[in-house]
Structure 1
Amino acid sequence: MQINHRDTETKRQSGRRHRLFLVGISLCLCASAVKSDAQTDPQNAALLAFKREQIGLMQGEATRYYDSREVNRAIAQTQKRAAQIEKTVGDAASTTYSVHERAYFAPDGSPQPFWVALPAGYNAAKKWPLAVYLHGYSENISKIAPWFPPAEIIDAATKRGLLLAIPYGRRNSDFVQWGEDDVLQVKNEVMRLYSIDEKRVFLAGASMGGYGAWAVGLHDVSPWRAVAPICGRTDFYLWFKTARENLPVWKRALYDADDPRFLLSNARSTPFFVQHGALDGTVSVEHSRRIASDAKRLGLPLQYLEQADGDHGSEFQTGAVSRAFSWFLTLPPVDIPQKIELVAVDLREAKNNWARIEAFETYGQKATLKAEIQGDVIAVTTENVASFALEPPPTLFATKNQVKLVVNGAEAAALFDAALPIRWQKEGAKSEKSPARCGPFKNLLRDPFLLVYGDEKDRQAAQKFALEWKVSADGNAKLKSATEISDVDKTSFNLILFGTRDSNPLLGEIAAQLPLELTKNGVRSGEENVEGKNLGLRMIWKSPWDKARLIGICSGIWWGDNLPVNHKWDLIPDYIVYNQKTERDASNVALEAGFFDGNWGK
């Protein structure tokens, strides 16, 4: 779930815009100490694509905001850097101020940048600790004006011997969904490219990045030795000033899936250091007070520091980041825990260390799993879980041989090999959904996807969707006519189909199989036809063509015209039929909405 944070940084935005622009385009302009061949190295190819995208953005947009002479100089410098990357052999990362600019290709094919600040004397002969730092909200963030931390934050890391990774975060994504995927990909890229101590990898962020640290850290704590959220939002219902019980169940589930207080028990085995200023006028200190109280009640390893004179400004945030980095380095390496807790409502995020929920009994409701290893026995208790997988390292068992599994007090009939994954499924479980193939609707966009149109009206709708994706996530959405879709496309992409069976032949091919469908006179829901005018349908469903893929349906009137551009898909569950009216939260009024069961049925 994504929320616009108005950082105090934005108060200074007009004065900083020019500086941010120059930082964003100059980090990679100096000659590299080493070279690479962008034609063969994926990282260099992504970096080259990013530089070319910057050039296009500057040529097409920047002259409206900046002095044309400076823009032309910046374009020339970036063109020079792009030519250098194209010709180099080896590693093309820049070395400006000991900061490497890098990029990777996201699932949608777009180049996504990130930066790595190196301690003095870095060398690959030693294993170094890594901190991943998540930025705050910026109204003007873009690939030519990326948010970049002040020198004080970079120095706070590098002078302590920490490598500092700075994800772009797909603009103002709140670091959830594709924003979270960006953070994890950056972490993985840095660990691949640098000499990192895998037992000392930390996560921190401030403001929107503070919320991001909560969300990324609690969706799966296992990549992180510790997490340090700073002045971040923790409670959607407090933020929106609404009561949870007043929301429909399906909307509550969408909030809960990314809500730190809802997910907090996932922190059982990972320490959190939370900081907030008592005078914060942007994100109320009550957010951190409440979650700190929750953690104390649950007995979780969370420390809370509240600064009496602290606000939401850069001075407080810089000091808090420095304290967090110092705290990180006091923590000794730890082994994988023998006891874990897991709570989730989105199957894609239902993992914690060596446990993953692979199917829910009822989708759109809270699921929990607790597991503990004692000797050669794993005791598991669950709620709303139809299937799970456990992959603890054999070293956690007493004999590292045969393992007994006890689920909700019942002992499994057979023993399990300690060296192999342990899978359990409830009798009668509906298991066509999987963590990689499930709703809600926005999960379509986390893997390679194509926008598929039928007639001209459908094509215009697909173009509008592509523009929303570009502005929201700096992504590339590919469009293709339904008549041109190949068998390879059906197995390689999630297909998002625009129109109806009458306008889109590919949708017409499968319409009879779908549980919902927009018709000329209204909506078909199962076997029932409901009359209505000016309606829309958004839906995610299993692909009829490939068991590993999904399809999306976008029919009728447009969804979310009144929603912020970076929150277009937050409040769409598996399916929603809606009209032109809007709710208090600016989403369209739902006539029917919810989650499909584990076999994609209603």
Structure 2
Amino acid sequence: MTNESYIMLSTLSACTTGALIFVATTACFAQRPSDQKVAELQTGLQQLQTQVDELSQRPELQKRDGRAQLADVAVFAKAVEWMLRHNEFPQKGYADQAARAIEIGLQRGKELQAKAASWETRPGVTVRGYFSRIDGSVQPYAVTLPEGVNPLSGDRWPLHLKLHGRADKMNEVNFIARHEGKPLPKDQTWIQLDVYGRGNNAYRWAGEVDVFEALADVRRRFRIDDDRITLHGFSMGGAGAWHLGLHYPAMWSSVGPGAGFVDFYKYQNQTEQRPPWQHETLGIYDAIDYAMNAANVPVCTYGGENDAQLVASTSMVEAAREADVDIKLLVGPGMGHKFHPDSFKEFMAFHKEKSAAGRRRGMGRPEIRFTTRTLKYNQCDWVTIREVDEVYSPSTVEAKIHDDGTITIFTKNVAALSVDRNVGASVVIDGDELPCRTAADGLLPDVFYRMSTDGWEVLGYEDSRSFSGNPDLHKRHNLQGPIDDAFMDSFLCVVGSGKATEAADNRWVDWTFKRFENEFDKWMRAKLPVVADADLTDEQMQASNLILFGDADANSVIKKMMPHLPVKWTEDEIIIGDKSFSRADHRVSLIYPNVLNQMHQRRTGTSGPLRYVVLNSGHTFHEKDFKASNSWLFPRMGDIAVQKVTRNGDGSYSEEIVWGANFDSEWKLR
């Protein structure tokens, strides 16, 4: 079975009558409807799920465009199923919203059965769906179409990508109710994408991927002008705009963050520094560390005069100024945590002006000033940071194209980089002059440069091909950790068919897996993709990050992986480098390159992205962090950690991280 087929079956299994599994959670029952109303919703959902099942068997709906139409129906079933399984009825009227979602889904299903889809180019707001590569789930977004949008014409439309604020009572059903069927706003001449972001996570982790998967789905359906994409949001959406705007500065014609946090320590009034492995990884998301990247994209930020979150905007403006970069700041006079009407007009006028001008891309961007704390975010226009010397330390590239066709680049904490070969004839990196356009026989789109003991060197064709394959398993983009990064791409939980030697290990592993299963289902809005160790295929291993639960006795995949992991088990101890911990009350979790994945590619002569393996961990932050604040959704265990565990009377566990670390740039312990 192909990985695509596996994902499809996993996704559609959530849309079958037999898949109605209701998980007990801590959801709000404040306005729980009557048992009769719940029964009516269950009956309606079963009808809709049956309809989706029947549609999924139609060959034309297995093709790309057909899958999009199928997702546009299945997303309504998913919305109601998740409301019921988590008992999410926080306010009066949510049951009616669910009934309306079922009604819309059934109507769309009937249209598809008749090979029609009236909603596809209808002006105004409609909710759409897509199947996520992360876990195969169907996720919603809303799109607003102006009059005259025709995917078959040559017209390309500007797009506004809008990020919602934190809304604890908003689930998929309520998201649908807020958007579906709303009229086109007066004078709107752009397509608008409102993302769901998998709920309330400040567009981190799967929430971040949701933004780009929804954007990709809109691009597949409509002709979008990639030089005229505006990103903006308010409150949590503002935090998301800071994050996505400055981590991906080459994507937007302008960025508009309103009243969103940018600095964990300041926002949470933290005076004590987190443990080193956590402190380092805060640099993944603290937007304050990326202020210089506003040199690459116009930014207009807003805060109310009396809003405590105004400090986020003023802090970013000051940090950017220190880097000799300007950010436009609007302050709403006398306002709290909302837009002043006049400020909003000025805010939107700024973005309309930048959209009209369009973004200068590629060689049209003669100067780049880019910084990052992680190889996860490593590219700006025609320059890509490939490797760094010190992980989670600032890496910077300042590059300029000169009139004579030469490029000058100054770097800090960069061990390897690449340049689009078309931007210049030659390049001078930190004083070392090297060829560009003719390098590597002119055969590859990017020219690779690597720091050696003698300075910067350019790679030839064969070395460039080898470099791209990452034969030495260095930290690279999407292979840089920490543990939580494994859940930003296709992943598959592999559970053991056997039993661990120690019963205590079995109990903790089972509890850890169940906690991850419940938390991901509730807070990331999807079912975990799971396979037994005996059923794992080579194809699945190549297509997904593997999340392994158990030990070498319980899980045959862990047994195969053991010789390649930086941890050893004896009968009594866990050994990591020169450290040892008692197995009686300690457990280890880690992320590491999947060496079996690489060995398979070498053996079969195939290529593809290298994957992670994770041992005994889901996300390293938990339910209390999701409930508290989005700013708490940062990695707790880095790349590897040992926890002391104590079993509680109710069967749960108390965990204390007694040691943690982040591997260096070569995936070794420092």
The AA in structure 2 aligned to 1:290 is: S
The AA in structure 1 aligned to 2:641 is: I
Instruction: Determine which of 429, 440, 447 is the counterpart of 1:407.
Output: 429
Please tell me whether residue 502 in structure 1 is matched to residue 553 in structure 2.
yes
Please tell me whether residue 449 in structure 1 is matched to residue 491 in structure 2.
yes
Q: Is the 8 A contact 1:364 1:595 kept in 2?
A: no
Residue 432 of structure 1 corresponds to which residue in structure 2? 474
The AA in structure 2 aligned to 1:423 is: F
Q: Is the 8 A contact 1:167 1:183 kept in 2?
A: yes
- Quickly say closer, same or farther: Cα 1:555–1:304, change in 2 above 3 A: closer
Whole-angstrom CA distance in 2 between matches of 1:47 and 1:352: 33
Residue 55 of structure 2 corresponds to which residue in structure 1? none
Instruction: Determine which of 157, 163, 175 is the counterpart of 1:128.
Output: 157
- State the shift of 1:198 in Å: 2.3
Which shows bigger deviation, 418-427 or 258-267? 418-427
Whole-angstrom CA distance in 1 between matches of 2:437 and 2:251: 29
Please tell me whether residue 575 in structure 1 is matched to residue 575 in structure 2.
no
Please tell me whether residue 207 in structure 1 is matched to residue 235 in structure 2.
yes
- State the shift of 1:93 in Å: 3.7
Q: Provide Cα deviations, 1:3-38, integer angstroms capped at 9, x if missing partner.
A: xxxxxxxxxx999x9xxxx9xx9xxx9xxxxxx954
- State the shift of 1:301 in Å: 3.6
Instruction: Determine which of 149, 165, 169 is the counterpart of 1:140.
Output: 169
- Quickly say closer, same or farther: Cα 1:533–1:558, change in 2 above 3 A: farther
- Quickly say closer, same or farther: Cα 1:525–1:77, change in 2 above 3 A: same
Residue 256 of structure 1 corresponds to which residue in structure 2? 283
Residue 330 of structure 1 corresponds to which residue in structure 2? 353
The AA in structure 2 aligned to 1:208 is: M
- State the shift of 1:317 in Å: 6.8
Please tell me whether residue 274 in structure 1 is matched to residue 301 in structure 2.
yes
Q: Provide Cα deviations, 1:539-574, integer angstroms capped at 9, x if missing partner.
A: 110102113111001179997475436766632311
- Quickly say closer, same or farther: Cα 1:300–1:378, change in 2 above 3 A: same
- State the shift of 1:135 in Å: 0.3
Unmatched runs of 5 consecutive residues or more in structure 1:
1-12, 30-35, 398-402, 582-586
- State the shift of 1:416 in Å: 3.7
Unmatched runs of 5 consecutive residues or more in structure 2:
1-28, 34-40, 49-58, 454-466, 500-505, 599-609, 647-653
- Quickly say closer, same or farther: Cα 1:507–1:329, change in 2 above 3 A: same
The AA in structure 2 aligned to 1:488 is: E
- Quickly say closer, same or farther: Cα 1:504–1:127, change in 2 above 3 A: closer
Q: Provide Cα deviations, 1:40-66, integer angstroms capped at 9, x if missing partner.
A: 322112223212213433554568665
Which shows bigger deviation, 178-187 or 267-276? 178-187
Whole-angstrom CA distance in 2 between matches of 1:569 and 1:227: 23
Residue 213 of structure 2 corresponds to which residue in structure 1? 185
Q: Provide Cα deviations, 1:230-283, integer angstroms capped at 9, x if missing partner.
A: 111122221122258x334322222121111101111112110000001114xx
Residue 626 of structure 2 corresponds to which residue in structure 1? 564
Please tell me whether residue 596 in structure 1 is matched to residue 638 in structure 2.
no
Q: Is the 8 A contact 2:620 2:637 kept in 1?
A: no
Residue 346 of structure 1 corresponds to which residue in structure 2? 374
Residue 386 of structure 2 corresponds to which residue in structure 1? 358
Which shows bigger deviation, 225-234 or 419-428? 419-428
Whole-angstrom CA distance in 2 between matches of 1:136 and 1:367: 31
Q: Is the 8 A contact 1:500 1:555 kept in 2?
A: no
The AA in structure 1 aligned to 2:189 is: G
The AA in structure 2 aligned to 1:451 is: C
Residue 526 of structure 1 corresponds to which residue in structure 2? 577
SS in 2 for 1:266: helix
Q: Is the 8 A contact 1:37 1:89 kept in 2?
A: no
Q: Is the 8 A contact 2:305 2:332 kept in 1?
A: yes
- State the shift of 1:319 in Å: 6.2
Please tell me whether residue 42 in structure 1 is matched to residue 67 in structure 2.
yes
Please tell me whether residue 242 in structure 1 is matched to residue 270 in structure 2.
yes
Instruction: Determine which of 97, 101, 105 is the counterpart of 2:131.
Output: 105
- State the shift of 1:196 in Å: 2.5
Residue 384 of structure 1 corresponds to which residue in structure 2? 413
- Quickly say closer, same or farther: Cα 1:519–1:378, change in 2 above 3 A: farther
Q: Is the 8 A contact 2:30 2:89 kept in 1?
A: no
Q: Is the 8 A contact 1:138 1:147 kept in 2?
A: no
Whole-angstrom CA distance in 2 between matches of 1:133 and 1:482: 41
- State the shift of 1:591 in Å: 2.3
Which shows bigger deviation, 517-526 or 379-388? 517-526
- For the aligned residues, what is the CA RMSD? 3.5
Which shows bigger deviation, 115-124 or 88-97? 88-97
Give the aligned length. Answer: 555
- State the shift of 1:195 in Å: 3.0
- State the shift of 1:340 in Å: 0.8
TM-score of the aligned structures, taking structure 1 as reference length:
0.83
- State the shift of 1:463 in Å: 3.3
Whole-angstrom CA distance in 2 between matches of 1:491 and 1:213: 33
Instruction: Determine which of 527, 540, 546 is the counterpart of 1:489.
Output: 540
Whole-angstrom CA distance in 2 between matches of 1:543 and 1:499: 17
- Quickly say closer, same or farther: Cα 1:192–1:73, change in 2 above 3 A: closer
Residue 4 of structure 1 corresponds to which residue in structure 2? none
SS in 2 for 1:474: coil
Q: Is the 8 A contact 1:128 1:163 kept in 2?
A: yes
Q: Percent same amino acid among aligned pairs?
A: 22
Residue 611 of structure 2 corresponds to which residue in structure 1? 549
Q: Is the 8 A contact 1:342 1:369 kept in 2?
A: yes
